[in-house]
Each structure stands twice: as structure tokens, then as C-alpha cells.
Amino acid sequence: MTTSDPKGAQLRLALALTRAIPLVAPTLLKRRLAKGKDLPDRWREKLGEPSLPRPDGPLIWLHAVGLGETLALRGLIAALAGQAPDAEFLVTSTTRGSAEVLAQNLPPRTRHQFLPLDAPGYLARFLDHWRPALSVWAEQDLWPGAVTATAARGIPLALVNARMNAEAYARRRRWTGLYADLFARFRLITAQDEATARHLQALGAKRVSVTGSLKAAAPPLAADPLRLAEAREALTGRNPVLLASSHPEDEFVALSALRAAHPRPLLLIAPRDPHRGAEIAIRAAEHGLTATRRNAGQGPTADVWITDTFGEMGLWYRLCATCLIGGTFGATEGHNPWEPAALGSAMLHGPRIANFATDFAALHQAGAAQPVQPEAVIAALTADHSAMAARAKALSDTAQGALAPLATDLLKLAGLA
């Protein structure tokens, strides 16, 4: 760290607390492992112990927290790779699901590791091994120890795709000193929208630019060709419609509407948490509907097929002409609409879309997404929305080609452009 790097009272407190992490980390991680929340052969990555060799050449390290944020980095990596053919890429995240799904959608010259817990010794091992030329953080999750340790080594830092609504800003206001000190270490900060930019600046960020959402520019989710062919054959003649990334509130709406529908399409339910498959089957029975579960080896032979598997959303968006976006009938406030857009699946949604308000506004303006009332869900899902799907895909295709300026700015920070 240089003498000009600010280190106020709140940051000093946060860094002091990180020194206690090794006292509890092994026990907590082993508990997570016992609950299936971490991968048995990779949990020690969170102690800063790499499970992969460092590649030769300059390495760009990108970090995101969970599944959606991690997948959104793929378009940016593609843009960086196109401009810097010698660069290699490391993606870190914190959740098991993000690691498993990214493994099926990994860009070229890219590998994944879990971000070490925010303790000095773990971070030192991580940085000693990977020696990145640039550190790129996505959205809003900043770890004080990791940010300061990276900056102290002279590694340039960038914050991209930042998103912070009013509620998230309110939770952080009391830590303005901490965030101001952390933001001061970033040489480039970009936000998804103007509201986020204002919130970041109120927390002490300087020179925030608005570049839109990386999720809009992410390449289509992958699908295994054999599984795709098998699923397509199994769905032949069934008129499938999809409830994507669902939560209990969404499932109640869809199951209630399906029960009243005549004739009934085949409803695929892809829960946000695939471990909820058995629970959803019970809810379907309570509605007088039959259900089968893909994770139990069952095919689409009932009223509802619960596709409770990890990493297969690329299949269902390809096979269902229309989908209902989950999280839009409850407090979750929506999920990423750009994944179905990139694969030509028309999008319907409920009234609660605050997490992606800017994205849905753009889609609505282009006639590329449609709100729907609970009682009309099944009728809307079975209608022809091919023109709407085509408009959504055109927006996605355009966004995928718009990352070149951001990629250039990042490569300049890394000394690669």
C-alpha cells in the first residue's frame, strides 16, 4: 500500500476483524462441506490453496459472488480475449452452484477458483500463486482484505457492472468511510444505471461511468447436444412451457393457473434452488396435479415436469418457446431476463421486477417482454409470442457486441493495450 492510500477508522476495524477469520474458518468450512454447500475436492481453495496451476502469460482475475453474476462475466471475457489473444483469465466466486454451472459454460482460456476467505494469510497465498495483472470486481460485493491486499501489490483494480438500489444503499450508508476508502483503490468504476452511479458517489466513489448491464451482453447458456436431443424427443407432442428460476410464490401462481387450464400444457418448473424438487412435487399434488422430477430420473409424463438439476437452463430455454421469469411474484423481485432473450424464449413476468428494473424497462420499450396477471399465466404462456422473442434476441445480440470500449479500458489498466 502506498502512503496515499486512505485507511480510515472503519477500514482499519474491518481489516482487524479479518485477522480472526483463521480461528474459525476450518470448522465453518467443514460444516458447509457436510451440508453439501462446498465441493469436497475444492473447499481448501477458500483457504487460499490453489487447485490449478497458473497459466503462462498475463492473467486477468475477475470476481463475482453468485451464479448470475458469474455467468454475466462471460461476455466481458469474450471481449477481453478478442482484443488480447495472449491473455488468460481466472474467475473467482463464492458459491458451489456458480462453480458447477460456470464449468459447463467456461469461456476459452478461463479457469475457476473459489475466492479465499478474507484473511491476510489466505489472500497472500492466492495472490502469490496467481499474480494477476488486473483485478476486476463485479456488482457490489467488496471484501476489504482482498481489495486492500491486491492494491498493496500494485495490481490495478476495476469495479464493473455495479448495481445498488435504494435499499442496498441504505444498508451501506453507515459504512461510508469504509466504502470511500475501498473505492479510492479502484482505478475504474462502472455502474449499470444512473441510480447506482449516484449511490456509489454518495458512498465516496469518484468518476463513476454508466455502461449498462453485463448480463445483457452474456453469450447464450450452453447445452449438451446429447441431452438436448434426448429432452427434445421426450417433449415431442407435449407443448412445453417454462417457469424459470422459480420460488414458492411463482410456483403457487403457475400451479393454480395450470389446475384451471383446459387443455393443460406441460409445465416445466426449473427452481432457483434445485434441492427443492421434492417440495415442489408436494405442492403440485396439493393442487390436484401430477408431477415428475428430472433429478429422480423421471421423464415428462405428468402435468408438471420439475427440472430440478444444476446447469441445464440452456436446455429449457431452447426447448420452450415461452417462459415465465421466476422471482417476479414475490419478494425476490425478479431474475435475469437476458438468459432467455439470448436463446429466443419469449418472456412473461409478474409485477415484482425491482432487481432488473432497468433491464425490463428496455425490454418493454422494445416490445420484448410482457407482464402477466396470475390468472392469465397459462393462457399467456401458450400464446404465440414469436415476434416478441425475436425482438428480445435482437437486443441481446446487439448488447453482446457493445463491450469493446469497456474491454479496451480494462486492458489499458492491465498494460495489455
Per-residue pLDDT tens over the stretch 368-399 = 999 999 999 999 999 999 999 999 999 999 98
Angle between helix axes 404-413 and 67-83 (nearest 10 degrees) is 80
**321-326 mean pLDDT:** 98
- For 197-218, the pLDDT digits (tens) are 999 999 999 999 999 889 899 9
Q: What is the mean pLDDT of the chain?
A: 95
The architecture in CATH of the region 9-212 reads: 3-Layer(aba) Sandwich (3.40)
CA distance 190 to 211: 6
Picking from 88, 72, 99, the residue whose alpha carbon sits closest to that of residue 132 is 88
Calculate what percentage of the chain has a pLDDT beyond 90: 90
Calculate what percentage of the chain has a pLDDT beyond 70: 99
CA distances in angstroms from 290 to 211, 264, 319, listed in the order given? 46, 12, 21
Q: Which fold has domain 225-400?
A: Rossmann fold (3.40.50)
Predicted pLDDT of residue 17: 95
∠ Cα 70 72 75 (to 5°)? 125
Predicted pLDDT of residue 140: 77
How many of the other CB atoms lie within 10 Å of CB of 255?
Answer: 24
Model pTM score: 0.85
- For 12-39, the pLDDT digits (tens) are 999 999 999 999 999 999 999 999 999 9
Kindly list the strands in the beta sheet with 240-246, ordered across the sheet, starting from the edge strand earlier in the chain.
291-293, 304-306, 266-271, 240-246, 322-325, 346-349, 370-371
Predicted pLDDT of residue 366: 96
On whether the CB atoms of residues 321 and 385 are closer than 8 A, the answer is yes
Residue 3 pLDDT > 80, yes or no? no
- For 155-211, the pLDDT digits (tens) are 999 999 999 989 899 999 999 999 999 999 999 999 999 999 999 999 999 999 999
Predicted pLDDT of residue 362: 93
Q: List, in sequence order, every residue forming a beta bridge with 137; answer none if it has no partner.
A: 63, 159
Predicted pLDDT of residue 45: 97
Predicted pLDDT of residue 8: 94
Predicted pLDDT of residue 4: 58
In the chain, where the domains are located: 9-212, 225-400
Q: Would you please indicate which residues are annotated as catalytic (active-site) residues? A: 69
**303-319 mean pLDDT:** 96
**296-308 mean pLDDT:** 97
Predicted pLDDT of residue 1: 45
Residue 239 pLDDT > 80, yes or no? yes
Predicted pLDDT of residue 68: 86
